Amino acid sequence: MPQPIDLDLERFRRLPAREDVWQLAVVRMPQWVVEEERPPFRPLVPLCCSVEAGRLGMGGMLDSDEPAGGAALSAIIELAKVRDVQCRPTRVEVRDAGLVEALRPVLGEAGVELAVTERLEAIDEVLAEMTRRFAGPAGATSLFSGPGVTVERVRAFAEAAVSFHRAAPWNQLTDEDLLRVDTPVPDEDLRCLTVLGGAGVERGLGFYRTEQDLHRLMSRETAEPFLAGARLWLFSFERIFELPIPDSELWETHDLPLAHAEAYPTLMCAESTGRGAPADAARLTFVEGLLRALAATTEDELDSGRWSKTVATFDGECVIELSIPALLEPASKPPAPGPGEPHELPDRRLMEQMMVDVQRAVAERELKGVEEINAFLAASGGKLAPREPDASPAGRAQARFREALEAHGRLRLKLAREALAIHADCADAWVLLAEEMPDLARRTELYGRAMAAAERTLGSKPFEDHVGHFWGMLETRPYMRARFGVAEGLWSAGRHDEALGHLHELLRLNPDDNQGVRDVLLPRLLESGLDDEAAKLLAAYEDDPSAVLGYGRALLEFRRSGDSAPAQAGLAAAVRGNPHVTKYLSGSARLPEWLPDRYGLGTDDEAAIAAAALLGAWQATPGAMGWLRDSRRRGKKAREQKRQKGPGKKR
């Protein structure tokens, strides 16, 4: 059977030949394509440029493993179609010998010479212009183009970044912990730093000239004016499509090391103009040494407040001395919140410690009845006289834990570690360390150690005598907090059945649920399709007015009976309790990036928390989202009609 005629190719063959050289190359577009189905990639596209006319032809986009011959021929034909060209060239130059072999049968027949050459100036100019246009000035300029920076110097920096990432110092330091370099620095802007990553947003190092600069940046009142004129150095890990194009090519071309596929190290000076300035050789290698020093730092060295490390760098061995001023001068506290800034609430465990002191004082004085206790407290002005601390290891550890509750940053961790060094079964200290640990697996392990320590301290008797009011005993609360933490860690790790078992047990021990376990358990039961268990939970807390239970109840009824009268009544009741939830569940409003840590019933803060918890269950229920949107539209329409028929309106 004869092959169909390619009309474009036939027209190309019939075009007149002209003394012109065309340059042809298959290039990677200076733009990343990010799709859910595959890793980020830069498409390949054939470009053909006429040296004489300065015109361009482009073929179709290719995958990296797709033969390029057909698309390259299309680029040639597209160039020949351009109005100012309308000819065949006498010569086509390419870099790739394989491309010559693919094109020779067609172009040779058309009388076009093919030649291999390394220099394709016209193509390079076109690609540079595309890079400027698509990537912008920042994306077209390498962050490793500073004076004296070579590929091998960057390689040493990348190796140090891998060590830093694997050591994960953000598990030991918070962004409140300012570190100071006490040895010479190449730039005073690199004198102070914080380790980023504890919040899980961006990992790396933020640099400051002074401790006061950090305080200015963290204050709402002074952050904006400070940033307006600041030059701040930042070391960070980015994804490949967030890098300037030359830097992604640098890593690919020279096979530079990476901690993992989404951790490309960068160092830049961020200026108020929004553009980043690259580091020179001295700054880059200083940060290399700093990364190596931090990667080798131990917990004990951090707790000491001052330490030094001898490390190898690209420029040779150097000593880096570091300190944490807040540990050397514990009296210094974070600056007070400015006007309009939220004030941090005291840890409720401090109140529990005061309650323990009150209980001891009452027992020592053998006070009986509410009147005697109130009279004693009134006489003391709410403040108990200092008492001799419990000299036992458990008592001294608990005293150190109390100090930790009032501390911040590394000092908080240091005091908790000291408590455990005094008494390894101080469950409160294990819980505090777990709360401050960003790494999921290590956090779950720490909660597990807290739970085991609490079980050893409590013994079996409270689990026999106090079931049903477990939280009411102050000594059981570390256990309850630890078990809740274990449940959260297991759920996040995908071990859902184990997590649900822990949550059920917490409610069995303390059905009054002072911890809010039911607001966590219900969405997870619904998400897991355990509707019967969800129904039992809702029945046990049928008077609970929370938005989580209200919208969870409506969803469960919809699952059972569809768009029925009971389901509509359940949804209407939920909306009366908190009307803001529907905008988040329906998608008409985006959930905030950070959920609030406290809320009031019926508020927008409660709505965001409830929607975030229930969204998975609603989305997993066929028809539920459409039903919710329809109900929301009907409700809006009814309210509008009611307004139009308001007082004084004619009917």
Tens digits of residue pLDDT in 398-448:
999 999 999 989 999 999 999 999 999 999 999 999 999 999 999 999 999
Q: Can you tell me the mean pLDDT for 463-473?
A: 92
Average pLDDT over residues 463-489: 95
Domain residue spans of the chain:
7-135, 141-325, 516-651
Both tokens assigned to 4: 């169909």
pLDDT of 2 above 60: no
Residue 648's pLDDT band (cuts 50, 70, 90): low
Looking at per-residue confidence, does 169 or 389 come out higher? 169
Predicted local distance difference test score (pLDDT) of residue 276: 72
Closest Cα to residue 382, out of 404, 351, 407, 403?
A: 351
Residue 211 C-alpha from the chain's centroid: 25
In the predicted model, what is the mean pLDDT of residues 454-474? 94
Asked: is 7-135 a CATH 3.30.420.230 domain? The reply is: yes
The predicted-structure confidence for 365-404, as pLDDT tens digits, reads as follows 777 777 776 777 677 765 666 566 678 999 999 999 999 9
pLDDT above 60 (res 3)? no
Write the pLDDT tens digit of every residue in 135-150: 776 667 899 999 999 9
Beta strands in 118-263 (DSSP E): 179-181, 192-196, 204-208, 231-238
Closest CA to 208 of 183, 238, 177: 177
- In tens, the pLDDT along 245-289 reads 999 999 999 999 999 999 999 999 987 655 678 999 999 999 999
Q: Decide: 113 and 91 in contact? Cβ < 8 Å.
A: yes
Percent of the chain whose predicted confidence (pLDDT) is above 90? 66
Lowest model confidence (mean pLDDT) among 374-378, 465-469, 530-534: 374-378
| Residues 45-89 pLDDT 10s | 999 999 988 999 999 888 777 888 889 999 999 999 998 899 999
Nearest CA to 288 among 261, 265, 255?
265
Would you place residue 98 in the very low, low, confident or very high pLDDT band (cuts 50, 70, 90)? confident
Query: Rounded mean pLDDT of 564-593?
Result: 93
Across 225-239, 268-282, 374-388, 616-630, the highest mean pLDDT is recorded for 616-630
Per-residue pLDDT at 161: 98
Is pLDDT larger for residue 181 or for residue 222? Answer: 181
Q: What secondary structure letter does DSSP report for 425?
A: T
Contact 527, 620 (CB under 8 A): yes
Amino acid occupying residue 297: T
Tell me the average pLDDT across 152-167: 98
pLDDT > 90? residue 634 = no
What is the pLDDT at residue 384? Answer: 61
What's the pLDDT at 134? 81
Give the model's confidence band at 1: pLDDT under 50 very low, under 70 low, under 90 confident, else very high.
very low
Report the chain's mean pLDDT, rounded to a whole number: 89
**pLDDT: which is higher, 35 or 280:** 280
pLDDT computed for residue 218 by the predictor: 79
Helix (H, G, I), strand (E, B) or coil at 271: strand
Q: What does each C-alpha distance from 636 to 354, 418, 553, 603 come to in angstroms?
A: 50, 58, 22, 19
Report pTM. 0.83
473-478: list long-range contacts, CB under 8 Å, 24+ apart.
474/352, 474/355, 474/356, 474/359, 477/352, 478/427, 478/428, 478/431, 478/450, 478/453, 478/454
pLDDT at 231 over 60: yes
Q: Round to whole Å and give the CA distance between 452 and 431.
A: 11
CA proximity to 88, closest of 139, 17, 157, 4: 17
Taking the C-alpha atoms of residue 589 and residue 586, their distance in angstroms, rounded to an integer, is: 8
Which tens digits make up the pLDDT trace of 319-351? 999 999 999 986 545 555 555 545 566 778 887
Give me the percent of the chain exceeding a pLDDT of 70: 90
User: pLDDT: is 451 or 352 the higher one?
Assistant: 451
